[in-house]
A and B are shown apart, each in its own frame.
Chain A
């Protein structure tokens, strides 16, 4: 199809789409209190002892959505590994030889010290965000991504080899599967112990003095999510990094 034709088709369509979208917006109620949201906001603390209502929705009321979401992440990581696998499987050995061992960028000692010094706090920060999911904003997902950047700091500070050792793929893959599978297993525990899949069957803890353990299954699911996200994003980032570096070697 010729380019002007394509553009014309799109412009006609875009005007139509904008009109449709605009008409829908014009009929939407402005600011209003949502019934669903209010119910959850009111119920999450008395029922589940969870202070952050968003976490309650994510890991309890609509926890089944999040199970699907975790597996979208899981399968995208698997898919990306399958797609980029040439470096992983067939040419693995050649390319491992070809990668010039050494530093990521020509770093000064100051840069090294700083990046390595940052790794510890990053990990602590990530873990903090993961485990306080049901109390304050944050949770397994947000903390997990923070944690996944820690290996990158190692790469920046140290060398690709150390990075490679830290993110040794089979181990991380197993961790990822444990995280995703763990979510499902916690659901199954509820299924067997109670009667519903993902039922919150663990002790809820003290409602008035919430700690990182209050909320029954929520902290457990939160942790599983944290593990899954950390491992998943580490795998993704290291897969792309390997693509970039593997090629640098043989040119």
Chain B
């Protein structure tokens, strides 16, 4: 008996159990079962991380090992990267459960059942080694996500966010399935290693491989909120219940990018070898666009949760750059960034949830000054804002360092600036909100934010609002502490580095799955240096200055006004394309596939 199915099967079983017994169990017991389940998954996944550093696990469901080297069953291929991601997923789910201990009334146990199934879907996505199985977990994750997003169905916002989320993500999933079917027609296999081996030997550099790649990748990039597939994210995250936002921003979106990376390295890397440079260009373009659009969107919001959502988009751009470099060091950087960013962002969403709980609003202007009564939340949020800038010793600082290191090696140093701008805009926006809400600073000039949506929100809790129960702020505190602590651990950074090397080792993966032999290339010892130490501090300083200027725009006089006009110029088209209308999003989706696919084909031809 092996533990490999545990992270998926046990949460599913627990969800079924909670639903079956929902009439009988008291709320606290339900909470307890849910917490214990996610904690046990966390333990098992940490165990996987520990074991797989030497030997990744290949697990054939039903015992259907390959026949004559051809896989007829479904496999989980658990390597350090997948296991680590699954562990991170369960950690955040645990945090979300603790946070929701005193949180909104649960309808029997349905909320917990949804969250547990969500957990299982995300773990399955991280661990699977089969293309169609990946699609199944992706859909499971989306279905649970949509239901959780619209959970507060008595309000208008969550419903609209959920439908935008559901429609765009389902459309993306079908496109991915189309790509998977195209691959199946050529290779007659669904196992990633088998498909990859077959493509590399039979059809290297064939056009249809490029098209299948763009289809599959576009589908998952919808989840990963890449421009121009990102629209749903801001809508859904702005309105989803806070514990759900923790998971959406903290890890679900990142899993979309993980799926692209996993599929690229297992299935396509061999066959697309001749086009590697073009693929790199494509993902760098996507990453830069996403980082900038997200940053602009973030700074122009007044609705705190929507602001944080746009910040996630911007950071997804940075992670896409990290993946897109197709370099092990940069991939390790992206992975570290996922950890650091996920924890900080989760903590910030918790702060937003606490504000919503106490003051019935997450609107920057409505909340001006009222935060003085919640100074601990203010401190948490300030730390989070600084962390978002990538200030040294936060997880994302190490991530950014690694990515920038790789950029310098490839002679693309100018992209450092994009990462810096992303940090300045997102951290500046959060600092601005922090200063206005918790310090009461800032001129009362709401016209600045003219055009930004003001979505009505209701409290998510019952009971007295003037105290914040410890179960709410503790997860935020722990996550922030972990974000600093975890990244400082050198063994962990080395482990991620070697995980990234293993993930990119195409041959090693195929030998492992198809022949059952461990034969990974040796991982070169990476020397760590942090070229961006001072730059990150500078980023935080500029972010603070930008926030101050946004609070007191009048201080710079007429020159300042002119500058405001320059800064606001990109806002008009920005607001025009973020229309909140599902028809527009679908049009952008189709256009995006054609544009990126066309780029890939024309450059490759």
Contact = CB atoms under 8 A, between A and B. Distances in A.
Interface of A: 1, 6-7, 9-10, 12-17, 19-21, 23-24, 27-29, 34-37, 39-40, 43, 60-65, 67-69, 71-72, 74-76, 78-86, 88-89, 170, 173-174, 176-178, 180-181, 184-185, 187-188, 190-192, 194-200
B13 interface: yes
Contacts of B583: 6
Q: Pick from A37, A40, A75, A180 the residue with the most CB of B within 10 Å.
A: A75
B62 A198 contact: yes
Interface residues of B, number: 82
A102 to B, nearest CB: 29
Given A24-B215, A35-B188, A60-B62, 5 more contacts: A20-B211, A28-B186, A65-B136, A180-B12, A196-B63
A36 B130 CA distance: 14
Given A27-B206, A180-B16, A1 B590 contact: no
Contacts of B29: none
Contact of A82 (B9, B107, B136): B107
Given A28-B185, A196-B60, A187 B9 contact: yes
Describe A's contact surface by its main secondary structure: helix
Nearest to B65: A196
Interface string B370-400: 0000000000000000000000000000000
B117 A74 contact: yes
Given A17-B590, A69-B136, A24 B182 contact: yes
A73 B245 CA distance: 23
B19 A173 contact: yes
Q: Pick from A79, A176, A196 the residue with the most CB of B within 10 Å.
A: A79
Given A181-B13, A184-B13, A82 B153 contact: yes
A174 B20 contact: yes
A86 B72 CA distance: 46
A92 to B, nearest CB: 12
A125 B170 CA distance: 33
Contacts of B20: 173-174, 177-178, 181
Contact of B1 (A19, A27, A191): A191
B133 interface: yes
A78 B114 contact: yes
B244 interface: no
A191 B137 contact: no
A34 B153 CA distance: 47
Q: Pick from B5, B61, B72, B153 the residue with the most CB of A within 10 Å.
A: B61
B61 A64 contact: yes
B331 to A, nearest CB: 27
Contacts of A88: 107
A200 B143 contact: no
B147 A82 contact: yes
A76 B426 CA distance: 35
B107 A89 contact: yes
Interface string B31-66: 000000000000000000000000000011111100
A39 B584 CA distance: 45
